[in-house]
Amino acid sequence: MKWSEFFVTGEPLIYAADVAIVLTVIGIVFVLTYFKKWKWLWDEWLTTVDHKKIGVMYIISAVLMLFRGGVDALLMRAQLTAPNMKFLNSEHYNEIFTTHGTIMILFMAMPFIIGLMNIVVPLQIGARDVAYPYLNALSFWLFFVGAMLFNISFVIGGSPNAGWTSYFPLAGNEFSPGVGNNYYAVALQISGIGTLMTGINFLVTILKMRAPGMTLMRMPMFTWTILITCVLIIFAFPVLTVALALMTFDRLFDTQFFTMANGGMSMLWANLFWIWGHPEVYIVILPSFGIFSEVVSTFARKRLFGYKAMVYSIVGIAFLSFIVWVHHFFTMGAGAAVNSVFSITTMAIAVPTGVKIFNWLFTLRKGKIRFTTAMLWSLAFIPNFVIGGVTGVMLAMAAADYQYHNSYFLIAHFHYVLIAGTVFACFAGLHYWYPKMFGHILNERLGKWTFWLFMIGFNICFFPMYFLGLMGMTRRMYTYSEGLGWTPLNVVASVGAVLMGIGFIVLCYNIYYSARYGERDMTGDPWDGRTLEWATSSPVAHYNFAITPEVKDLDAYWEMKKSGKGFEIDEEKLKPIHMPSNSGRPFLISIAFFFAGFGLVFKWFWLAIIATIFIALGLILRSFDDDDGYYISVDEIKRTERLSGKGA
Amino acid sequence: MKQKIWKWASLLPLSLVLLLSGCSENMLVMRPKGPVAKTQYDLILWSIGFMLLIIVVVFVLFTVVLIRYREKPGMENYEPEEEGNTLLEIVWTAIPILIVTALAIPTVKATFALEKPTKEKVEPITIHVTAANWKWIFSYPDQNIETVNYVNIPVDVPVKFKLTSVGPMNSFWVPQLGGQKYAMDGMETELFLEADEPGSYMGRSANFSGEGFTHMEFEVVAQTQKEFNKWVKEAQSTAPKLSETKYETILKPGLVGRMTFSNTHLEWIDHSKQNSHHAGEADEQARLCNPLEGNGIVVE
């Protein structure tokens, strides 16, 4: 292989990116060396098994990926603003929409949600860490190297270009001969393993590590949604694992699972992909419902209306999510009977979702609503998500779907549910739980600026797309001709995209501004919260709870406050706390995964084999590891608690 | 000052209406020109009615709740407590079920109806459609004509399109005549469409199939039976014969203009009956469309 094929060449944008990457790396290395922070980085972050730090790293990665995916989106909008634009050519555009979709779903939405659940779930259930802290670190680093592997594709070797759905036969060697789609197969596989382990980890954590008294029906709604999400992950991700493995065989070893020759079946890919893919969208939306439930009930100062119905409806949605996948290809000609069945199961999802919407509205009713930034995001979710939801029902009607399928109507729909659902929830959760992560509050004024810019921009960007779809504009077109009359709405959409971009910049500035000047949260309970995470100090002590709380009611901390006691720490009752030791091994194993993946992408099997040996070595060493963790002494707990103002 | 801004802002939705009325001319799906598209159009309107109803109910409730129950001074001692209300919850479970039922019944009816020819009395005309990188090939087995990137059909006659593909999956979509269906390699799918007005209708691939996908457009020309017959005669007598070698060059990845032939490729190959590629050819094909070796798009 020649160097000119190894590095992507020929595009000024790519050269600019090359320069930016090199400068950033040099910058980071310089800063770390100059301020002598290497040891700090290793001790505090790279080797940590603390769920809160892992959560923070997930969120930082997600915000970085939001930037990357957002730049992709803006490039696409720039290209589509006017007819016959020459800004991007077809090949470049194809790569950009592929990476935009893949990154936004798998490397932005997923880690953002997983980050929040890492930080919040153990706190909400009164636990000191997750069930398998070491595994948790490995999950994060596998996700992270998967994301990095996927991202370097645009400067080394070329990006995948067959769409985030990667349909065969297009994604096969015959029509996509470069290494781009190898990146897709391998990078998603690596991060997918991490996600699967997260699902197992949190399922066990929630089932086994709840504080005494917290029955399942006393769990906070966010924890409930995470529990169900874990079940979805455990059932759905193995399908992706298998599908990607078959894809990898097809691409690297010329097997014929999905090709057109020798009995290969491209429809098999579409089915496998969506059997994972549909539950996947619920994996990112159910936790969002959980976040909105927490925020709405906190700032309406009311218990969640119809808690039980909310629980049953998420279980119902989760179940239905596995029997609707065919609606992604009603147009494949499976026949009227099949389409009718999947049409009805899909529409049925509207029922539990509708129940939830009304329960949120009735949580607000008779409340004392405070319009904080987190609350604004949660409130905006309701009308916007309803627009996305009802158009989803329209898409579910098979006969009508033949007219919407793959058009901008579909694009508008899924952005309305994924942005108004998941992204709004991530921002709401970020503002809401920020004090728990960093000990200060994100500036409310800037937060509201972000909210209005982003929310209005979002509507300006995506609402016109419903109409573009009805005009016959299909997704993944890199340009269009003037006579079609699509120009005005495309211009409007691009304006909206720019507003969303500005909103994102304000958010980043807010993170910087609040770190410097933000209001410190001394109480640990800045919002007058209802669940156990607000019983801890901000930022949360390493061991979370000095004493394991006892739960007597749903909204456990609210009940403690109402009974007048709050969460008291009786110093007499303190015992040494057992904590897991840090380990660099998850990080190192993941680095080996990165090289194994890189070797597979380029078919450098020697590299893949050597790296795999290192992976195996890491696993073996772990098996002989007899580090049982360590104890935090009572004195140290007392000192920490007094410093945070929580101790007596 | 603040109120003035709101006054103007409230006009924003109006501007959208103005903008859309300007565009409605182009809203192809909402301007059906045949019975299939009309069935779908009716279904779409029926669903939009219910959806608007839901949106109005939720938005009104939402607005009322937010205004009425925002935190106001003097509420310091107000401690709202409420757990739920089974009756209400049953109501808002039942109503969506009713709405879904009201949508499901016509959906299922239409879905079954669309699988059948649009007319029972008139014999449908059969046209084979082959999607290839990145052009549309139409074969009329009964008339013995083949066209590329355009298709003539008679009005008021059901057309049975038999769809297949050479290579990546495409989707055959003529918005004004009706919804789409996939064209897949080694497979055959059927789509019935019909035009009830003479005219020219835009058709395109709706499923991404690689570099030239965006340009994968074709024109459907609906003609009166008389004009159609005339065109058939003309094509049969004046159009050149399609040879196997010529056909091979058409199939090569790239864009081509319109063409007409007085025979069809079905004489020697039907892509729906077999995988179009054999292992050896696949390598050849791979080299042809390797983006690393120069830009693939060839315009003939």
- SS3 string of chain B? CHHHHHHHHCCHHHHHHHHHHHHHHHCHHHCCCCHHHHHHHHHHHHHHHHHHHHHHHHHHHHHHHHHHCECCCCCCCCCCCCCCCHHHHHHHHHHHHHHHHHHHHHHHHHHHHCCCCCCCCCCCEEEEEEEECCEEEEEECCCCEEEECEEEEECCCCEEEEEEEECCCEEEEECCCEEEEEECECCCEEEEECCCCCEEEEEEECCCCCCCHHHCEEEEEEECHHHHHHHHHHHHHHCCCCCHHHHHHHHCCCECCCEEECCCHHHCCCHHHCCCCCHHHHHHHHHHCCCCCCCCCCEC
- Whether B40 sits inside 8 A of A305 (CB atoms) is no
Which of A363-367, A621-625, B111-115, B287-291 bottoms out in mean pLDDT, i.e. has the lowest?
A: B287-291
A411 to chain B: which residues are within 8 Å by CB?
Answer: none
How does the average pLDDT of chain A come out, rounded? 94
**Closest residue of A to B40, CA-based?**
A400
Q: pLDDT band for position B295 (50/70/90)? A: very low
Q: What pLDDT sits at residue B18?
A: 58
Give the minimum alpha-carbon distance from B223 to chain A in angstroms, rounded to a whole number: 22
A262 to chain B: which residues are within 8 Å by CB?
Answer: 275, 279
For B250-263, write each residue's pLDDT tens digit: 999 999 999 999 99
The whole-number average pLDDT for the span A204-210 is 96
Percent of chain A whose pLDDT exceeds 90: 85
Among A302, A335, A470, the residue with its CB nearest the CB of B30 is: A470
Q: What pLDDT sits at residue A477?
A: 96
- Whether B58 sits inside 8 A of A400 (CB atoms) is no
pLDDT of B233 above 80: yes
Q: What pLDDT sits at residue A370?
A: 95
The residues facing B173 across adjacent strands are B204
Q: What pLDDT sits at residue A625?
A: 86
Q: B-contacting residues of A 100-159, CB under 8 Å?
A: none
Q: Does A512 touch chain B (CB under 8 A)?
A: no
Q: What pLDDT sits at residue B77?
A: 77
A456 to chain B: which residues are within 8 Å by CB?
Answer: none
Give the minimum alpha-carbon distance from A302 to chain B in angstroms, rounded to a whole number: 6
CA A388 to CA A417: how far, in whole Å?
A: 5
- Whether A262 sits inside 8 A of B208 (CB atoms) is no
Stated pTM of the model: 0.93
For A421-474, write each residue's pLDDT tens digit: 999 999 999 999 999 999 999 999 999 999 999 999 999 999 999 999 999 999
**Closest residue of A to B76, CA-based?**
A368
pLDDT of B217 above 90: yes
Which of A215-229, A368-382, B75-89 bottoms out in mean pLDDT, i.e. has the lowest?
A: B75-89
The residues facing B178 across adjacent strands are B174
Q: pLDDT band for position A648 (50/70/90)? A: very low
pLDDT of B237 above 90: yes
For A404-426, write each residue's pLDDT tens digit: 999 999 999 999 999 999 999 99
How many residue pairs from chains A and B have C-beta atoms closer than 8 A?
301
Q: What pLDDT sits at residue A277?
A: 96
pLDDT of B283 above 90: no
- Whether A336 sits inside 8 A of B112 (CB atoms) is yes
Tokens of A130: 């997750």
CA B38 to CA B34: how far, in whole Å?
A: 6
For A235-274, write each residue's pLDDT tens digit: 999 999 999 999 999 999 999 999 887 788 899 999 999 9
Q: B-contacting residues of A 320-349, CB under 8 Å?
A: 329, 331-333, 335-336, 339-340, 343-344, 347-348
pLDDT of B42 above 50: yes
**Closest residue of A to B281, CA-based?**
A174
Q: What pLDDT sits at residue B85?
A: 83
Closest by CA position to B285, among listed A162, A170, A270: A170
Among A354, A359, A369, the residue with its CB nearest the CB of B66 is: A369
Q: What pLDDT sits at residue B21?
A: 57
B129 to chain A: which residues are within 8 Å by CB?
Answer: none
Q: What pLDDT sits at residue A522?
A: 86
- Whether B43 sits inside 8 A of A399 (CB atoms) is yes
When scoring A90, A341, A452 by the number of chain B Cβ atoms within 10 A, the one with the most, hence best to mutate, is A90
Q: pLDDT band for position A396 (50/70/90)? A: very high
Q: B-contacting residues of A 402-421, CB under 8 Å?
A: 402-407
Q: What pLDDT sits at residue B84?
A: 78
For B148-174, write each residue's pLDDT tens digit: 999 999 999 999 999 999 989 999 999
Which of A47-51, B238-242, B269-273 bottoms out in mean pLDDT, i.e. has the lowest?
A: B269-273
- Whether A399 sits inside 8 A of B39 (CB atoms) is yes
Domain definitions of chain B by residue range: 28-66+87-115, 125-277
For A216-239, write each residue's pLDDT tens digit: 999 999 999 999 999 999 999 999
Among B48, B110, B169, the residue with its CB nearest the CB of A167 is: B169
- Whether A406 sits inside 8 A of B180 (CB atoms) is yes
B62 to chain A: which residues are within 8 Å by CB?
Answer: 361, 379, 382-383
Q: Does A217 touch chain B (CB under 8 A)?
A: no
pLDDT of B287 above 90: no
- Whether A355 sits inside 8 A of B96 (CB atoms) is yes
- Inter-residue contact A360 to A421 (CB < 8 Å): no
Q: What pLDDT sits at residue B17?
A: 59
Q: Does A312 touch chain B (CB under 8 A)?
A: no
Give the minimum alpha-carbon distance from A477 to chain B in angstroms, rounded to a whole number: 5
Among B59, B85, B285, the residue with its CB nearest the CB of A383 is: B59
Q: What pLDDT sits at residue B80?
A: 77
For A544-570, write each residue's pLDDT tens digit: 999 999 998 899 999 999 888 778 788
CA A221 to CA A308: how far, in whole Å?
A: 10
When scoring B26, B31, B42, B66 by the number of chain A Cβ atoms within 10 A, the one with the most, hence best to mutate, is B26
Please state which CATH number belongs to domain B125-277: 2.60.40.420
- Whether B185 sits inside 8 A of A169 (CB atoms) is yes
**Residues of chain A by 3-state class (helix, strand, coil), percent to 5:** 70, 0, 30
Q: What pLDDT sits at residue B22?
A: 54
CA A299 to CA A523: how far, in whole Å?
A: 17
CA B183 to CA B207: how far, in whole Å?
A: 9
pLDDT of B7 above 80: no
